[in-house]
């Protein structure tokens, strides 16, 4: 491994250090993430965050750059370290979504014409 590549990897690791889920919970509310993604991270008009399918790096890039309905929030307004905390918190959120067919009310609606 070249010296330059080693430095790049170290840099990436430093930029995407593991966050603190406890702090992330407060930040999720403070930054109003719940407004579009729900208090649960899975209800709302925005994308479903649970289960989180993005890597921390992809998540950070996505938040900073925005895409589609997601507005961009730059590193100036949400620093990477705080996004790491938010990411860590989202990873702790349980998936509260059973299969529709296992829910009697929805299964009944599915069966109706």
Partner 1 sequence: MKKPEKISASRRGFLKGAAASAAAGAAALVSHPEPAPAQQRPRNGSATPNPTTLASETGAPVGEESDSRIIEHPGSDFMVDVLHSLNIEYCASNPGSTFDGLHESLINYGDNKMPEFLTCCHEESAVAMCHGYAKIEGKPMMALIHGTVGLQHASMAIYNAYADRVPIYMVVGSHADAAVRGSGVASYHSANDMGALVRDFTKWDDSPQSLGAFGETAVRAYKFAMTPPMGPVLVVATHETQIDPIRQNNLKVPRLVMTSPPSGDSSAVAEAARMLAAAERPMIIEQRAVRTPNGHKLLVELAETLQAPVNSQERQSFPNRHPLAGNGGPGYQPDVTLCLEVSDATATARNARARGAKTINISTIDLFMKSNIQDFMHYASDLDLDIGADAEATLPALIEACKKLITGDRKRAIEERGVKIAAAHKQARARAIEQAAIGWDASPISLARICAELWPMIEKEDWSLVSWQGFISGWPGRLWNFDKPYQYIGGQGAGGIGYNAPASVGAALANKKHGRLSINIQCDGDLNYAPGVLWTAAHHKIPLLTIMHNNRGYHAEVMILERRASQRNRGQDRCHIGTKLWEPEINYAKMAETYGLYGQGPITDPKDLAPALKRGLERVKKGEPALIDVVTQPR
Using CB under 8 A, list all residues that contact partner 1: 30-32, 34-36, 38-40, 42-45, 48, 66, 71-74, 76-78, 96-100, 103, 105-106, 108-110, 112-113
Instruction: Give the nearer residue to partner 1 in terms of CB position, either 18 or 97.
Output: 97
**In the structure encoding, which two tokens stand for residue 17, read together?**
């250090």
Shortest separation between residue 5's beta carbon and partner 1, angstroms: 33
Is 100 buried (19+), middle (13-18) or exposed (0-12) by CB count in 10 A?
A: exposed
Nearer to partner 1, 1 or 105 (CB): 105
The CB-of-37 to partner 1 minimum distance in angstroms stands at 9
* Cis, peptide link before residue 51, omega less than 30° from 0: yes
Least spacing, CB of residue 6 vs partner 1, in Å? 34
Closer of 17 and 110 to partner 1 (Cβ): 110
Q: Which is nearer to partner 1, 5 or 71 (CB)?
A: 71
Q: Answer yes or no: are the C-beta atoms of 52 and 91 closer than 8 Å.
A: yes
Distance CA 63, CA 84 (A): 11
Angle among Cα 59, 42, 75 to the nearest 5 degrees reads 25
- Minimum distance of partner 1 from residue 44's CB (angstroms): 5
First to last CA, the chain: 63
């Amino acid at each position: 491994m070249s010296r330059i590549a080693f430095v790049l990897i170290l840099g990436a690791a430093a930029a995407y250090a593991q966050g603190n889920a406890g702090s992330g919970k407060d930040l999720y509310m403070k930054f109003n993430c719940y407004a579009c993604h729900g208090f649960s991270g899975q209800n709302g008009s925005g994308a479903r965050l649970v289960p989180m399918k993005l890597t921390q790096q992809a998540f950070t890039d996505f938040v900073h750059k925005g895409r589609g309905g997601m507005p961009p929030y730059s590193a100036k307004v949400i620093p990477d370290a705080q996004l790491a905390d938010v990411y860590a918190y989202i990873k702790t959120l349980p998936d509260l979504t059973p299969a529709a067919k296992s829910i009697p009310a929805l299964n009944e609606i599915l069966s109706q014409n």
